[in-house]
A and B are shown apart, each in its own frame.
Chain A
Amino acid sequence: MTTQTSCPAAAAFELRLYVAGQTAKSLAAFANLKRICETHLAGQYRIEVIDLTKPPQLAATGQILAVPTLVRRLPEPGRKILGDLSNEKRVLAGLDIQPVMGG
């Protein structure tokens, strides 16, 4: 399963969420990510969700061990955030995003 959630404009933030099947954790991670992006990166992001159970070789090519893993592909340098992304502050710190106040 590869899902693309994108804005038409050239995305400054290219994010990839690796999950393994439709587990509670992966669903939570996607929901959390979507919320955070809409709040702080409206119009500047693109999310690609990759289910490792379908083409399993992607785990090796993406150097993925933990799921869910959020990978920031752009802007460089790449970052990896493990977990269900429940802690918004840490996600923002991990993605190096300045929080939008009052969002």
Chain B
Amino acid sequence: MSKRPPALFKAPTGIQGLDEITGGGLPAGRPTLICGSAGCGKTMLAMEFLVRGATQFGEPGVFMMFEENAADLTANVRSLGFDLDKLAQQKMILLDYVHIERSEIEETGEYDLEGLFIRLGHAIDSIGAKRVVLDTVEALFAGLPNHAILRAELRRLFRWLKDRGITAVITGEKGESTITRYGLEEYVADCVIILDQRISEQICTRRLRVVKYRGTAHGTNEYPFLIGERGFSVLPITSLQLDHKASVARVPTGIERLDEMLGGQGVFRGSSVLVSGSSGTGKSSIGAKFVDAACSRGEKALLFAYEESSAQIVRNMRSIGIDLEPWLKKGLLQIHASRPTLHGLEQHLVMMHDAVRSFRPAVVVADPISNLTFERREPEVKPTLMRLTDFLKQQQITTLFTSLNSGGGATLEDSQMGVSSLMDTWLLLRNVEFNGERNRTIYVLKSRGMAHSNQVREFVMSDEGVDLVDVYAGDDRVLTGTARVAQEAHERAADEVRQQDHRRKLLHLAGKRKAIEAQIAALQVEAESEAAEVNFAIAQETLLEKTALQNSKAMAHLRGGAAGSNGQAKG
């Protein structure tokens, strides 16, 4: 957003999120009105605007206060890490406490507020201020009875500030029917920001809205904000355009067989993974393993825990062979454990933003997000989670959310409050109760952009870690646990029997073949001997014939005459 050239000059506030909403900051050289009810953070916002102006943008500023004195304010903002004393010494910030005590004041006749102008002008000139905060100028209405003069003078004051090119922030108390109690918005027409805090179900959520910003486009929604350890933080909808990059790099989940199910390499970097399941299905363990894997790759991981304390997680995960302590010590892992009821959902998300921004992890695990959405109305939950996932995607952070299904059975897929549509990968864990025991199964319900297994696997946790094993799927049944083991043993035995049967059959066959072969051999021998006999008989006959012929010839010869036809017949 900051790359677009601004339509008019902006004075960046340096406040997370606010510059994004306003497209670069407050209108430079013009007054901005910040209003809200008591205690909603007007002074803090104004002060941070000034401090960041001084420290980040080299613009000195004057803080003119009408309610709090300088010492109190300095003490108050020290908790945000702002050292006003030091900035005052460096002549970057000047605090001026205007004290008005109504009881000491009497009015008679005409007057003006030139004293205030001189005072402010002197303060501005003495440090070359570019920014001015008036907090809250409405105190003057209580101090000065003649409102007609005051209004005229305030109008003159804002014009005077504008003429001097000062970027001013004026705070004002929220009115009943008007934006501010004394209608300051009449005079400050360039930019109006409303801060609001609402309490719903005993949880307070602070919100910010830019009501008006002349001459520039601005976000019009209500944005949750937080006054945290590093000051103000506004949570904008960061990606209305869904323009985050899509990485093709993969991040292993830490469970090899799970990676196998996800196209063999794990999930995409910067994608979001939802692990849902009912109580005790092993969601947290998958989360811990994911974190553990990231840390062992040398990447930073951030774990938001909403059920267990940091120490408890470390202890419990050790029981399944995941040791997170070294990573904590090395600073690769941060665990933020808090009760979800500590803040509203939005506040939590702002905190998560803050933590992610400062720690810059590669992997974020939130366990479980369903706790954050506890008893929340659905329409609130989805947009806020959308903001978070979009933010994390833009930062190319791979995220794993776990989610508890309170129900079970057929509505399992529906019970994810529409969150699942935001997720790229959805793993479903289920308890399978059968045969007197409870086992865990896991399957990939969806995984965008990758071939993934459609198989149900059994999820096994032991003191050596977590792993997946194939379930027994056959005979129209899915078996897990001991039933699976029993079935497998049973199958192995049956297999053995079958094998032996085969062997026996083969042996039998071989025997039979041998017998037949022997028979063939015998027949052949018989045939051969028969053939030999026939040949012998033929040869004998031929010999006899030959002998007879010779005999008759010899007889004829002996008889000495030509052989008569009779002689032959006699032979």
Contacts and interface: CB of A to CB of B under 8 A. Distances in A.
Contacts of A94: 106, 108
Q: Which of B96, B104, B121, B123 has the most CB of A within 10 A?
A: B104
Interface in A8-58: 18, 20, 25, 28-29, 32, 52-53, 56-57
Interface stretch (B109-117, B297-305, B493-501): B109-117
A81 B121 contact: no
B118 A78 contact: no
B115 A86 contact: no
B105 A52 contact: no
Contacts of B110: 25, 28, 83-84, 86
Given A52-B114, A65-B140, A83 B119 contact: no
Interface string A79-95: 11111111100110110
B111 A83 contact: yes
B118 A59 contact: yes
Nearest to A84: B109
B394 to A, nearest CB: 47
A82 B99 CA distance: 15
A90 B118 contact: no
Nearest to B145: A82
A78 B113 CA distance: 20
Contacts of A60: 96, 119, 122-123
A83 B121 contact: no
Tell me what chain B mostly uses at the interface: helix, strand, loop, or mixed: mixed
A83 B144 CA distance: 11
Contacts of A85: 108-109
Contacts of A18: 115
B98 interface: yes
Contacts of B108: 81-87, 90-91, 94
Contacts of B96: 60
B107 A59 contact: no
Given A81-B108, A82-B107, A86-B108, A67 B98 contact: no
A69 B106 contact: no
Nearest to B120: A59
Contacts of A65: 98, 100, 113, 115-116, 119, 140, 144
10 contacts: A25-B111, A29-B109, A56-B119, A65-B140, A65-B144, A66-B113, A81-B107, A82-B106, A84-B109, A86-B108
Given A65-B98, A84-B108, A86-B109, 12 more contacts: A28-B110, A56-B122, A59-B122, A60-B122, A64-B115, A65-B100, A65-B140, A66-B111, A67-B115, A82-B144, A85-B109, A87-B109
Interface of A: 18, 20, 25, 28-29, 32, 52-53, 56-57, 59-60, 63-69, 77-87, 90-91, 93-94
4 residue pairs, one from A and one from B, having the closest CB atoms: A94-B106, A83-B109, A56-B122, A86-B109
